[in-house]
């Protein structure tokens, strides 16, 4: 059961990264022109590839692929972490997801990313860029909780079917 829960969380986290990314791209267009530099997933990829000596060897297409893989991989990982937590929260599902999304933003952008010198702290970022990233993490958390609810509901419905129907694919 625990492995299945983690896999569902990872799948939900991966899928929740899609609306988050769309929200980020949409809001990015409305930033003042002087704040339209690379968003954090691209910055993180650039810093990490530079740190391991790949930055000069990485072409734009490869950088974009690594950014995509890192961003969606992190979304899946954070989703897997949330799945067992979600069952224990004493909050409504949507609220729990939003709180979790905000916690992921805070722990990442005020916590470990600055601590490891990957990105400057969110406290040093312009307010509009912070608002963009906070909103994107709210979208992620809400989507994550909704997707996990849908997966649980589907799983519950399948469990309630007679065994013969489950194996017959109905």
**């194996």: which residue's tokens?**
167
pLDDT of residue 158: 60
pTM: 0.88
Supply the pLDDT for residue 144: 98
Q: Which residues of 70-92 are buried (b: 16+ CB within 10 A; e: fewer)?
A: bbbebbbebbbbbbeebeeeeee
Q: Within 10 A of 155 (CB to CB), how many other CB atoms are there?
A: 12
pLDDT of residue 87: 83
Please return the burial class of 1, using the count of CB atoms within 10 Å of its CB with bins 0-12, 13-18 and 19+. exposed
Q: What is the model's pLDDT at position 116?
A: 96
**Would you kindly state where each structural domain of the chain is located, as residue ranges?**
2-33+72-168
Mean pLDDT of residues grouped by 10 in the chain (170 residues)? 89 98 97 95 92 77 93 98 90 95 98 96 96 98 96 69 53
């Amino acid at each position: 059961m625990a492995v299945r829960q983690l896999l569902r969380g990872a799948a939900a986290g991966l899928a929740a990264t899609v609306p988050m990314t769309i929200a980020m791209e949409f809001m990015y267009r409305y930033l003042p022109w002087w704040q339209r530099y690379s968003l954090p997933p691209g910055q993180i990829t650039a810093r990490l590839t530079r740190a391991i000596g790949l930055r000069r060897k990485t072409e734009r297409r490869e950088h974009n692929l690594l950014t995509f893989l890192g961003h969606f991989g992190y979304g899946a990982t954070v989703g897997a972490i949330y799945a067992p937590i979600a069952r224990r929260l004493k909050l409504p599902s949507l609220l729990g997801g939003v709180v979790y999304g905000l916690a992921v933003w805070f722990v990442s952008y005020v916590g470990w990313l600055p601590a490891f010198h990957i990105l400057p702290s969110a406290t040093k970022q312009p307010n509009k860029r912070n608002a963009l990233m906070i909103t994107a993490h709210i979208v992620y958390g809400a989507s994550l909780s909704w997707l996990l609810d849908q997966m649980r509901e589907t799983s519950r419905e399948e469990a309630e079917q007679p065994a013969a129907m489950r194996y017959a694919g109905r």
